[in-house]
Amino acid sequence: MTARAASRPVGTVTRGTTNPNRLRRMDRWIAATHGAELRRATGPEPDPVAVAVDLGYGAAPWTAVELLQRLRTVAPRTRVVGVEIEPARVAAARPYEREGLVFRHGGFEVPVPGSPRLIRAANVLRQYDEEQVAGVWQRLCARLAPADPSRGSRGGLLVEGTCDEIGRRHVWVALGPEGPRTVTFATRLGSLDRPSDLAERLPKALIHRNVPGEPVHAFLRDFDRAWAAAAPYASYGARQRWIRAVRDLTADWPVTDGASRWRQGEVTLRWEALAPRTT
């Protein structure tokens, strides 16, 4: 292998579709659930530093700019590195660099020094085959900051998922250095007809498993039933109907969050409950 080939970014160019505020639901969840880990981070500098990577930010740098703004509300010393495999996109993003925000050419090798506390890969793996997902996850998880039980740290976080073009519907998997942890469904409740509408935004690891006999199909079926049973709560608004439906789901499904997140149009479950069945 030549030196040039060895340094070539890993991955393929995405469509690059992006819009301002497209990833606000994912960002909001990361800030709420991972903010303490980002604040706990330390780096080589005298002041604590947490590095977050926006992997595959697309044709415009909006998502990286917004990620910095949102993470700094909970962890003021966070730094964001936008990573893109298409050199022209990196060049176009460079004018948006500022204190705490830089852009780099690269791919799944994640060309940043040290071990990031966060890697966000939104709408990146949809163009890959399902069989490739596990390998990409493993590679990215290996780049995360390791857990440090002595400091109460679970290590870095990889958030990988898919949303629609304007961020109304979003499903993502959260992974630590040890592998997948949870799956989160998030939606703008006013636009939702039924929870199974989110099926079209399942991440690549799950989207082809929404068929009878698979756990994710059973979950969405049960969620639709709970949503229908909660119809009387619609008179109090879609939020109250969602909260009631999720509360009913907790009897049979390992929901990991509570009403403060449900109010945001979210629900998070343990990965093991929705993981594809092996065949």
In a domain, 9, yes or no: yes
Place of tokens 């292998």: 1
**Both ends of the chain: CA-CA distance in Å?**
36
pLDDT of residue 8: 84
Residue 18 CA to residue 82 CA, distance in Å, equals: 14
Structure tokens at 167: 């961020």
Contact 47, 114 (CB under 8 A): no
In a domain, 279, yes or no: no
Quick: pLDDT tens for 66-120.
999 999 999 999 999 999 999 999 999 999 999 999 999 999 999 999 999 999 9
Contact 271, 182 (CB under 8 A): yes
Domain harbouring 163, CATH code: 3.40.50.150
H or E segment at 90?
helix 87-93
In a domain, 128, yes or no: yes
Give the residues across from 148 on adjacent strands. Answer: 153
Residue 175 CA to residue 133 CA, distance in Å, equals: 13
pLDDT of residue 15: 75
In a domain, 173, yes or no: yes
In a domain, 277, yes or no: no
Quick: pLDDT tens for 6-16.
478 888 887 76
The answer, yes or no, to whether residue 1 has pLDDT greater than 50, is no
In a domain, 69, yes or no: yes
In a domain, 261, yes or no: yes
Query: From residue 240, how far is each of 57, 193, 221, 227 by CA, in Å?
Result: 34, 15, 20, 11
Q: What angle do CA 181, 269, 246 make, to 5 degrees?
A: 165
- Going by pLDDT thresholds of 50, 70 and 90, the confidence category of residue 43 is low
Q: What percent of the chain has pLDDT over 90?
A: 86
As for how many domains the chain has, the answer is 1
Place of tokens 């176009």: 92
The answer, yes or no, to whether residue 227 has pLDDT greater than 90, is yes
- Going by pLDDT thresholds of 50, 70 and 90, the confidence category of residue 46 is very low
Instruction: Give the domain range for residue 248.
Output: 3-270
